[in-house]
Amino acid sequence: MVLPTNLKHIATADELTKLINEKENVMVCCGRMGPMCIPVYGVMHEIEPEYQHVEFRDMAFDSPEAHIIRNLPECRGFMGIPFVIYYKNGKVAAATSSIQSRTQITTILDKTFSA
Amino acid sequence: MENTHYQTIIIGGGPAGLTAGIYLSRAKVKTLILDSSIAGGQMLLTHQIANYPGVENISGYELSMHMLNQAKSFGCDVISSIEITKIDFESKLKSLELSNGKKYTSDAIILATGGRSRTLGLAGEDKLKGRGISYCATCDGDFFQDKEIAVVGGGNTALEEAVSLTKYASKVTIFHQFDHFQGSKHAEDEALNHPKIEIRLNTKLTGFFGENSLESIEYMDVNTNETFRQNFDGVFVFIGYEANTDFLKGKCIHLNKYNEIVTDGQMQTNIPGVFAAGDATAKRFRQITTAVSDGTTASLYALEYLKTIA
């Protein structure tokens, strides 16, 4: 189950685990093709060339494999999609719930993944 | 060196801006659309659009992409995810600077910056967004299965979404600051007669409370000024829209008291060569079709303007 976005997709929990173990900086947007999520995928796609030191991915929120994100302790209390997770060296460095603007996203990227 | 002069720059890539882009580019006018997010504007926030003539049912995302691709197919340039940091629209040659440091000039400007959902602006609202506070019932409703939630607002959207949220929630309480609703009779009747919905008129939210997620709200009876605190698992806010005109405040463009751009019948602002279209303008009805109409009108008058200065 993957989303029809312009981003690279994560289909399984194993794929995500492998990616965050191999790459230093990873941002994953876990959502649906809905109004709160689409703008976030769009911003990620637009800023991807400026942040070549970050791996951008999406993951389908309704996939059973997305338990790896839905059940994170950092997502406790989240009640709005998408769940966006920023992984640094395999660990969760930041997490947001619901729609975020370009400025909100780049602020976290700059703070968490300074090149 | 990159040519940064355009005959027309359109600020905003919603239905008004994209329509203007389609018309101008098709007329061989060198046109640039700038957008602070991705093209589509508030269309993107709509799951299904069933009242756009000629298309029985389409998602907001799909319609946005169709309009965007149509504009690009005629040669319109589009820059997304960009902020405007400086403007000079008063001179004959209009200029603006972007957050990436680039400067652009143009002969005409079309302001199509659209609107955004109004927030309550209360303490804790930003922190608890996505943690109990939501602005989209379709997106987040299923997080509130068998929970007690509040809906804030008294227009059609608030009333209709309150009814739709009863699919999930055990109880929905509508808070509205006036003594009557602003929605249609049908929407009002549906909400009033729903067994899971409770109505609290003449009430105004004054605070959100919760650490990791929303736990309670504070509200005030506007007649007595008495305040109350009540536990809720979620709050959905539907209190209308406001124009995206922050970057125009205190500048040369005439805004009304609601910060909407004032135009004449030709979608011309008070500044020659600067036109406006769509939800950011002062008008009563805000629909995709009215935005498209505005975008068409603004682009055709912009074309006439460009001829006069040629």
Contact A11/B at CB under 8 A:
no
Helices within A1-115 (DSSP H only): 13-22, 38-47, 67-70, 102-112
Give the end of a domain, one of B181, B216, B237: B237
Closest CA to B113 of B14, B239, B25: B14
What is the per-residue pLDDT for B101?
A: 87
Q: In the prediction, which pLDDT does B3 show?
A: 60
Distance between B301 CA and the closest CA of chain A, angstroms:
31
Per-residue b or e along B226-245, where b marks 16 or more CB atoms closer than 10 Å to that residue's CB: eeeeeebbbbbbbbeebbbb
Q: Please, what is the Cα angle at B150 between B144 and B152, to 5 degrees? A: 130
Residues in chain A within 8 Å Cβ distance of B47: 34-35
Domain with residue B172: its CATH number is: 3.50.50.60
Taking the C-alpha atoms of residue B47 and residue B8, their distance in angstroms, rounded to an integer, is: 31
Identify whether the C-beta of residue B154 lies closer than 8 Å to the C-beta of residue B181: yes
Same domain, B37 and B176: no
| Burial group, residue B125, by CB count within 10 angstroms (0-12, 13-18, 19+) | middle
Q: Which residue of B has its CA nearest to A105?
A: B81
Task: Please choose, from the candidates A57, A69, A54, the residue with its C-alpha nearest in 3D space to the C-alpha of residue A24.
Answer: A54
Q: Do the beta carbons of residue B37 and residue B81 sit within 8 Å?
A: yes
Asked if B130 has any chain A CB less than 8 Å from its own CB, the reply is: yes
Say yes or no for a CB contact (<8 Å) between A80 and B60. Answer: no
CA distance B176 to B182: 10
In a domain, B274, yes or no: yes
ipTM: 0.83
B119 interfaces chain A, CB cutoff of 8 Å: no
Identify whether residues B53 and B105 lie together within a single domain.
yes
A81 part of contact set with chain B, CB < 8 Å: yes
Say yes or no: B14 and B105 in one domain.
yes
pLDDT score at B2: 60
Residue B310's pLDDT band, with cuts at 50, 70 and 90, is confident
Tell whether B278 is within 8 A of chain A (Cβ): no
Which of the four pLDDT bands, split at 50, 70 and 90, describes residue B81?
A: confident
B50, part of any domain: yes
What is the predicted pLDDT for the residue at B189?
96
Q: Say yes or no: B200 and B100 in one domain.
A: no
The first and second tokens of residue B33, run together, are 């659309």
Both B222 and B265 in a single domain?
Answer: no
User: Exposed, middle or buried by CB within 10 Å (0-12, 13-18, 19+), for A13?
Assistant: middle
Edge-to-edge strand ranges of the sheet holding A8-10: A8-10, A55-60, A25-31, A83-88, A91-97
A27, two tokens: 């941002």
Residues 199-258 of B with CB under 8 A from A: 212-214, 234
Scanning every residue of chain A, which has its alpha carbon at the shortest distance from the alpha carbon of B214?
A77
Whether residue B127 lies inside any domain: the answer is no
Which structure tokens are listed for B151? Answer: 């809906």
Q: Residue A23 class from Cβ within 10 Å (0-12 exposed, 13-18 middle, 19+ buried)?
A: middle
| A10/chain B closest Cα distance in angstroms | 21
Contact status of A35 with chain B (Cβ, < 8 Å): yes
CA B200 to chain centre: 27
Say whether A77 and B131 touch across the interface (CB within 8 A): yes
* Final residue in a domain of this structure, among B188, B207, B237: B237
Question: How do the domains of chain A map onto residue ranges?
Answer: 8-92
Residues of chain B positioned with their CB less than 8 A from the CB of A43: 37-38, 81
**CB–CB of A33 and B213 under 8 A?**
no
With respect to residue B46, please indicate whether it lies within any of the assigned structural domains: yes
For residue A82, cis peptide bond before it (omega within 30 degrees of 0) = yes
Over residues A65-87, the pLDDT tens digits come to 999 999 999 999 999 999 999 99
Distances (CA, A) of B262 to B16, B19, B266: 16, 20, 11
Cross-chain residue pair A102–B44, CB shorter than 8 Å: no
Task: Show which of B237, B266, B289 is a domain's final residue.
Answer: B237
Assess whether B185 and B142 both reside in one domain: yes
Contact list, A77 vs chain B (CB under 8 Å)? 131-132, 212-213
Report yes or no on B303 lying in a domain.
yes
pLDDT of residue B1: 44
**C-alpha distance from B44 to closest chain A C-alpha (Å):** 5
pLDDT tens digits for B251-287? 999 999 999 999 999 999 999 999 999 999 999 888 9
Residues 37-66 of B with CB under 8 A from A: 37-38, 40, 44-47, 59-61
Q: The domain at A8-92 falls in which architecture? A: 3-Layer(aba) Sandwich (3.40)
Q: Would you report the helix, strand and coil content of chain A in percent, each value rounded to 5?
A: 40, 25, 35
The type of residue at A8 is K
Domain that holds residue B277: 5-117+241-309
Q: What is the average pLDDT across B60-69?
A: 92
Report the domain count for chain B. Answer: 2
Q: Are A101 and B37 inside 8 Å of each other by CB?
A: yes
Q: Is residue B148 part of a domain?
A: yes
pLDDT, one tens digit per residue, over B158-187 is 999 999 999 999 999 999 999 999 989 999
Which candidate, B308, B302, B304, places its Cα nearest to that of B8? Answer: B302
Active site residues of B: 136, 139-140
**Count of beta carbons in the 10 Å neighbourhood of residue B201:** 16
Distance CA B22, CA B190 (A): 41
Helix (H, G, I), strand (E, B) or coil at A12: coil
